A and B are shown apart, each in its own frame.
Chain A
Amino acid sequence: MIEYIITVLLIAAIYALFSLGLNLEWGFTGLINFGHVAFFAIGAYTTVLLNLSGVPLLLSVIAGILLAGVCGGLLGIPTLKLRADYLAIVTIGFAEIIRFILLNEEWLTGGPMGVHGFSRPFQGLIQSDYNFFLLQVVLIVLVVCYLLLEKLIKSPWGRVLKSIREDEDVPTSLGKNVFYYKIQALVLGSMIAGLAGSLLAFYLQYINPRNFMPVETFYAWIAVVLGGSGNNRGTILGAIILWSFFSGTRFAQVYLPFSPTQMGALRILFIGLLLIIVMMFKPEGLLGKKEELTLEK
């Protein structure tokens, strides 16, 4: 049972980190990124492939973070000068391109069979339950990222992002280079997703393209919207609720008269219902501020 709780917390914490990246982009800057999972995948694959070719683990993780950030920046350059909806469409396409590369470039990525056999941090030194150790690592990373993001968001830098979220004509008329700030948000958000991807690989020990389906992006969206767009604590809470629910219903499987396939469909149905109810009674999300509601009535 305790191992099970550790696993649930581990997944929730990794997705919380992943969702924090999206919250920076959408919650604070108003960028609609529907391909966040691409950077999750880039972080995970870069880390494990470099490690398998002999690069030390820490360097591999850093390379994964940097490559995710570079890809975010390259994607932003042609799209962020356009209207918000273009970024949404381009990011969906980008995420699918990445997934198809992972699926088809077998010489590099192992194709549908994926990659395994890479090392995990301090693997040899941990005598007890490795997941418990990994949970501590992930929690430390999550807390550090949370504190850094909070510091940035509460700074004048964060103020510029929020002004862009509401009406980019205002910061523009006051001399702020809006495009440059959007790129920064997208790069930073993608780097956080890349880091979360490395951690996911360490947890799974075996990664393949099915871990990076488009729906992963929308799990992050659910966490952000549920917890409250533009609220980092809310995002973490949203991720914990979402993954506790997913795992809890898996646990309840034995007591319910549904097949696993039916349960899978029911889970999504209930998440949808939960979102609708939250949006009806608390449209700003669980911890969001009503006055900062991003979507107007």
Chain B
Amino acid sequence: MTSFSRALPLCVIMMTTTAAHAQHDQHGGHDQHDQHGGHDQHEAHDHSDMASSPQDNAAPTGAVPMSTTPELEAALAAGGTPVVAEVLGVVCDFCATAMNKIFGSREEVAAVYVDLDTKALNLVLKKGHNLDDQTIEELAVQAGYRIAAVYRDPVLQGG
């Protein structure tokens, strides 16, 4: 199944997220909601031993469509909140397994799916729960990977 056929029709998360990979000391605040019309701005941690290239430090490629799986759809239908994160370095199923294990063990997460085609971590958070950007970054580091950008509701087109 291609990423396009998996993508939710007209359900592209609007985002204004930026994702420069900043140094730790530039990490003053992760969530800068007010500066971006209510969306989250996120600056990924820089781990000097887990580097991304200058090219990859560029702004994210744009809105990433949320993948569809029965688990994600069921979690959304139950009132969950969608979050999509661009992930760097995800090239194989071991990567997906690692992310699934780490994020799937979190109480806040109702469903998780890593899509190798879109290079995206798809999360549905349980109703009434939240994972802030910094926590998502830290969990990705625990899995061995790096978040490039977090695309967060509130706006879903169509659906």
* A and B are interacting partners: no
